Amino acid sequence: MTRKKITAALVGNPNSGKTTIFNNVTGGRQHVGNYPGVTVEKKEGYKNLGDKEFAIIDLPGTYSLTAYSQEEVVTRNFIVNDKPDVVIDILDASNLERNLYLTVQLLELEHPLLLALNMVDVAEDLGVKINDSKLSQCLNGTPVVRTIGVRNEGTDAMLLAAAEASGNKQSNGFKLDYGNDVEEAIKKLEPLLITLHNEIKFPVRWLALKLLENDANIKKSLIKLSSSDSVVNECDKIRIDLSHKLGEDVELFVAGQRYQFVGKVYQQIADVRDAHAITTSDKIDKVLTNRLFGLPIFFGLMWVVFNLVFTIGDIPSGWIEDAFGKLGELIGSVMSDGPLKSLVVDGIIGGVGGVLTFVPGIILLFLAISILEDTGYMARAAFIMDRMMRKFGLHGKSFIPLLLGFGCSVPAIMGSRMLENPRDRMITILVSPLMSCSAKLPVYTVLIAAFFDPSVAGNVLFSIYILGIVLLMIMASIYRKTLFKGESEPFVMELPPYRIPTIKSIVLHMWERSSLYLKKAGTIILAASILMWFLTNYPSEVEYSKDYDALTVQAEETYTQQVREDVLAPLNIEDVEQNEQLTALVSEIQDVNTEFDEATAELEEDSAEYAELDAAKTEKLQLIETENPELYASAAKYVELTSGLEEEKTHLENEKTGEKLERSYSGQLGKFVEPAIRPLGFDWRVGVSLVAGVTAKEVVLSTMGTIYSLGETDENSKSLKHALAQDPNLNPLVAYSLMVFVLIYSPCLAALAVMKRETNSWKWPAFSLLYGTALAWVVTFIVYQGGKLLGFGS
């Protein structure tokens, strides 16, 4: 059966239930992207109903069709340029008078229109009854249907009515009378605009009205056309003359006329029983937005969200990390050593694993945000925090993504989507990397443990976190006054009634946002991971300062000779395995040593717990010696020699790897940047670590471990702490300066990739990388040089 294809555009105010209806209608058949050239999200979905196939376009939520935001311009341009078969205006029946302002502007676009009265159950609970037929009559026969989005009621009827409305390609003749002066001006303009009408496609009357309102977007479109200068100049004269006649700005007068019309319509169609009734939402707000309890409750909820994302999320993230680690080992075991194996295991599998470890946290983040948005609490949270945040050029809603920045910049940047205003969104995106994310904490931990006394360690760490918050506030204020300056938008936000969210809506909302991270950011991160693998592994042939292969062979020969002289000869055997009792004893001693090493891996050698475990180990070995007095000395010697060989081979391998890294392209880059970072107290080793740390801040530690010939290291590595403390180029002031630099400089690759996705441009990730690194240099320079002047550099 061939289905009739119908394109329907969903339009409506924010919080009108538009997206809930879209999710109910389309289900999993959705595609989410961005409109070309803008950061506004574009959602498309599909629905088959009878002999009809609907393509549903969920346009951005907007209160009007002026040109003050990308959402408004995108909505009106889509209706005019893409010409959907029908526009479905989703109206919040409980706030119908305000919603009808957008309806009037949609009618003026002269496009087939259907009105969907949504949330009629909420309106009736408030004592408001809407006369559907009277509403249709007041708007020149525009069809009206009823829906309850959260219960998925009336959506099929809405689509069938939309299909019927789509057959009417002619305007329903709606025409709002703006008074003699305005109507006369429109008549003067219409003949001038008829020749330009076909080029920019907007209805002539609507176009004339927009020019009288001095719509900057429309004027810009006209100016691009050939021979339009005279038309634009004449339009300006007519507008100025009209403004003088009205005694006020034309745009304000026109808006006032629309509101008057909407008010008259609402009085005719709405029966309000008790306008002063206290609703359930009002009762809840008395607690949740209370001056005394509002902030503590909000912080409590944010604490729950924070722990949900970064505590519970760590569990599946650990599983993913372990799974990719085992996959790397498995693939590595079946591949021969060489560049291909290194690329697959370290570059591709390591890169993909690094991407996927973020996913559980991102899913949980958007789960929490979806619940808060769908219940209606998110609007209250913004209201509560706005006064505090506005002092620093931030919107109230910015607090939530910034709070999440303590865990990870990736969900913090993605969380900025909750901000409707592009300026607020951009400022939040650019300053969120200044929060100390969990990836930076291991770097702080190692440096503090290596250079600061435990009595001040907490204060040092706290000062870094506070520095990040202070810089965030300063930079937000600077951005508001420079890059994103303009009139500060007042905090105007509808407080929707509290609702119980539907599981379907929450899951779809959560998944559509989370999947974008995998589809878009993942590919960029993978490519960058492969690039970093190349930089750290090539050139593959380098000239080493030592013959590491010969030294390894020499170590093995020395070991074999010592085992023969100290273990085998006294026992008259050629091999350890010839004596089963000796073999068992060696295994027993090695088990005790392994158990001790695992138990003390995260302990300091001067701690009481370490001393206790060391005493227990000695006791176990003494017991083994008592039970095997004749062979114990030989077994212990064999274990000592074997352990020494492994340590020597590991040291040589790590030293070789460190030397190769020094001569790699990334090492050369580190030495190239050394003159620039010398004033900060850093040498080329730190430079390599910082360059590698752009991939992920945790990589700073593993790179240091490689440079200091220690192999793989993390925040619990005692050997790395010792190596750093012994480096004559490092001291407490340099360590603190390094922490400051790590705090501020370029966001990690994952954050940059997501930033590109959210801004729809490489310009802002590049700017963030450059400004972050420049700011890090300046602040670190002040800290280091100021510290030296105060005598802290010794």
Which tens digits make up the pLDDT trace of 133-150?
999 999 988 999 999 887
61 known ligand binder: yes
23 known ligand binder: yes
374 known ligand binder: no
716 known ligand binder: no
637 known ligand binder: no
The pLDDT of residue 461: 82
- Give yes or no for a cis peptide into 539 (omega within 30° of 0): yes
The pLDDT of residue 78: 86
Q: How far apart are the first and last CA of the chain?
A: 84
The pLDDT of residue 500: 77
27 known ligand binder: yes
DSSP 574: S
Q: Which residues contact 746 (CB under 8 A, 6 or more apart)?
A: 694, 752, 768, 769, 772, 773, 776
325 known ligand binder: no
729 known ligand binder: no
214 known ligand binder: no
Strand, coil or helix: 679: helix
- Report the distance separating Cα 748 and Cα 285, nearest Å: 40
- Report the distance separating Cα 312 and Cα 314, nearest Å: 5
The pLDDT of residue 37: 43
335 known ligand binder: no
667 known ligand binder: no
13 known ligand binder: yes
Q: Which residues contact 51 (CB under 8 A, 6 or more apart)?
A: 1, 3, 4
Q: Which residues contact 237 (CB under 8 A, 6 or more apart)?
A: none
The pLDDT of residue 783: 93
60 known ligand binder: yes
Domains within the chain, CATH numbers bracketed: 4-166 (3.40.50.300), 548-644 (no CATH)
198 known ligand binder: no
Residue 356 near residue 323 (C-beta atoms within 8 A): no
Q: Which residue has the tokens 């095997």?
A: 628
Q: Which of 112, 95, 455 is nearest to 262 (CA)?
A: 95
Per the document, the length of the chain is 794
The pLDDT of residue 565: 87
Query: At residue 52, what are phi and psi to the nearest 5 degrees?
Result: -125, 140
Q: Which residue has the tokens 């920019």?
A: 200
C-alpha distances in Å from residue 8, one per residue of 29, 82, 141, 345: 15, 11, 19, 48
Task: List the structure tokens of 589.
Answer: 């001693």
The pLDDT of residue 35: 39
- Report the distance separating Cα 614 and Cα 592, nearest Å: 11
Strand, coil or helix: 292: coil
CA dihedral 271, 275, 279, 284 (to 10 degrees): 140
The pLDDT of residue 492: 53
Task: List the structure tokens of 230.
Answer: 């005279």
256 known ligand binder: no
pTM above 0.95, yes or no: no
Q: What average pLDDT score do residues 675-685 get?
A: 88
41 known ligand binder: yes
- The amino acid that residue 620 corresponds to is K
- Report the distance separating Cα 214 and Cα 585, nearest Å: 92
Q: Supply the Cα-derived Rg of the chain in whole angstroms.
A: 34
Residue 62 near residue 13 (C-beta atoms within 8 A): yes
Alpha helices in 226-358 (DSSP H): 229-246, 250-269, 280-288, 294-307, 314-334, 339-342, 350-356
Least confident of 109-118, 245-254, 405-414, 782-791: 405-414
Residue 760 near residue 37 (C-beta atoms within 8 A): yes
- The amino acid that residue 92 corresponds to is D
- Report the distance separating Cα 711 and Cα 719, nearest Å: 10
Task: List the structure tokens of 695.
Answer: 């991939």
Q: Which of 213-217, 474-478, 648-652 has the highest mean pLDDT?
A: 474-478
Check residues 220 and 770 and name the one with the higher pLDDT.
770
DSSP 722: H
The pLDDT of residue 34: 44
Check residues 397 and 45 and name the one with the higher pLDDT.
45
Instruction: Please report the DSSP string for 40-108 in residue order.
Output: -EEEEEEEEETTEEEEEEEPPP-S-SSSSSHHHHHHHHIIIII--SEEEEEEEGGGHHHHHHHHHHHHT
26 known ligand binder: yes
Q: Which residue has the tokens 């040593």?
A: 593
Check residues 601 and 81 and name the one with the higher pLDDT.
81
- Report the distance separating Cα 705 and Cα 712, nearest Å: 6
793 known ligand binder: no
Task: List the structure tokens of 307.
Answer: 């722990």
Residue 771: band (very low, low, confident or very high) from pLDDT cuts 50, 70, 90: very high
309 known ligand binder: no
C-alpha distances in Å from residue 626, one per residue of 506, 592, 622: 67, 15, 6
What digits encode the pLDDT tens for the residues 307-352? Answer: 666 567 767 877 877 787 788 788 878 887 777 777 777 667 765 6
121 known ligand binder: yes
- The answer on pLDDT for 535 being more than 80 is no
Percent of the chain with pLDDT over 70: 84
Task: List the structure tokens of 319.
Answer: 């599983």
Query: At residue 276, what are phi and psi to the nearest 5 degrees?
Result: -105, 10
- The amino acid that residue 233 corresponds to is N
Q: Which of 262-266, 292-296, 306-310, 316-320 has the highest mean pLDDT?
A: 262-266
Residue 116: band (very low, low, confident or very high) from pLDDT cuts 50, 70, 90: very high
Strand, coil or helix: 683: coil
The pLDDT of residue 748: 85
The pLDDT of residue 312: 77
